[in-house]
């Protein structure tokens, strides 16, 4: 699947890191309060996924959690 292929690529990892930082920044600096804190915690998911090379979306679609393993599986198909 092209979306999972993109999300496990280097560019997709970068997008997840940036998206996570944007969500965390918006939560802490714009929204603030309890909802802002929740947004910041939720933003940790895409951020850490990009940094530590795991993809929850790919995992939900039946691919391995680790990005390297998912890329190998995608290359075989």
Single out the residue of 74, 60, 64, 77 nearest to residue 9, CA to CA: 74
pLDDT in tens, 12-46: 999 999 999 999 999 999 999 999 999 999 999 99
Entry pTM: 0.86
Residue 15 tokens, joined: 């997008």
Domain extent listing, the chain: 2-72
Q: Which residues pair with 66 in a beta bridge?
A: 54
Q: What is the pLDDT of residue 77?
A: 73
């Amino acid at each position: 699947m092209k979306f999972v292929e993109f999300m496990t690529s280097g560019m997709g990892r970068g997008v997840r890191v940036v998206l996570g930082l944007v969500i965390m920044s918006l939560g802490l600096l714009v929204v603030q309060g309890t909802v802002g804190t929740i947004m910041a915690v939720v933003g940790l998911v895409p951020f850490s996924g990009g940094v530590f090379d795991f993809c929850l979306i790919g995992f939900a679609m039946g691919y391995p959690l680790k990005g390297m393993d998912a890329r190998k599986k995608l290359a075989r198909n």
